[in-house]
Copies of this chain bind each other. A is one copy, B any other.
C-alpha cells in the first residue's frame, strides 16, 4: 500500500463493491478524480487501467469509465488464486488433508523448473474437502533451494501465504494449462470420485518476479465441481 495509484485502485474497487457505483454508471471523470485524490491525471489513469484490466470498468472515449457487471464472474479462479482464498470467498466449510510431504529428486520436473537435475524438490500431495466431499487433489513440487523448510502445518493452511508473507518471495506470474484426463489410481485413493472416470487437470508453472521458476502444481478437480471463470480483453491484431 505504498504506491499512490495502487491505493487509489483499491479505494475505487472498494467503492464499487460497496455499491457506490453500480453497473452502467460512469465513474467521476479523470479530472474529478484528480481533484478528489489530489493527484495528477496520469496517476489516476494508472489506477483506472488496473480497474479496466481486472474487468471492473470499460473506458469509453468521450464518455467516461463505465462500471461493468462483475457479479456473474465473481469467481476469482481466473488470476493466481490460492485454494484458501477461493474457499474463503465460497464461504463453505473446507478442509485440507496432507497426504505426502517429502523431499524428492525428479529430473523431469527439475528440468522444467530450470534448476539442477540433482537438486531437491518439496513434493506435497493434498486433497481438498468442501462440503464433506474430497473433490480436489493438489500435487505440488517446490524448489527446496528457495523454500528451505516446510511443515505439515504450513501445507495444511496456506502455502502461498507462507511463501509470500513469511519468506518474502515475490510470486509474480504463472503459465497454466487446463485439460481433461482419465482418473489415476491416486485420484481414486484420495478423492470421492462419485463414479466419475475423468478429472479436470490444471497444470501451473509459478514464477517469481525475477523470472526464476519456483513451483509446479497439478490440481485435479472432480468435473462436476469444477468451474473456471475469466474476464478477457480482445487483443487487437
Which residues in A have some Cβ–Cβ distance to B below 8 Å?
6, 24, 53-55, 58, 60, 63, 66, 68, 72-73, 78-80, 171-180, 198, 200, 205, 207, 209-211, 223-224, 226-236
Contact = CB atoms under 8 A, between A and B. Distances in A.
Contact of A179 (B54, B171, B226, B233): B226
A175 B179 CA distance: 20
Given A53-B53, A68-B211, A211-B68, A173 B234 contact: yes
A58 B229 contact: no
A136 to B, nearest CB: 14
A233 B80 contact: yes
Contacts of A178: 178, 226-230
A235 B177 contact: no
A144 to B, nearest CB: 22
Given A68-B211, A209-B58, A211-B58, A177 B228 contact: yes
Q: What are the 8 tightest A-B residue pairs by CB atom distance, in nearest-first order?
A: A180-B223, A178-B228, A80-B234, A173-B233, A58-B211, A73-B175, A66-B211, A176-B230
A220 to B, nearest CB: 13
> Which of A55, A224, A234, A235 has most chain B Cβ within 10 Å?
A234
A133 to B, nearest CB: 16
19 contacts: A53-B53, A54-B235, A58-B210, A60-B209, A60-B211, A66-B211, A68-B211, A79-B232, A80-B234, A80-B235, A174-B232, A174-B234, A177-B230, A178-B178, A178-B228, A178-B230, A179-B226, A180-B198, A180-B200
A45 B44 CA distance: 17
A210 B210 CA distance: 38
A56 to B, nearest CB: 11
Contacts of A73: 175, 177
A58 B172 contact: yes
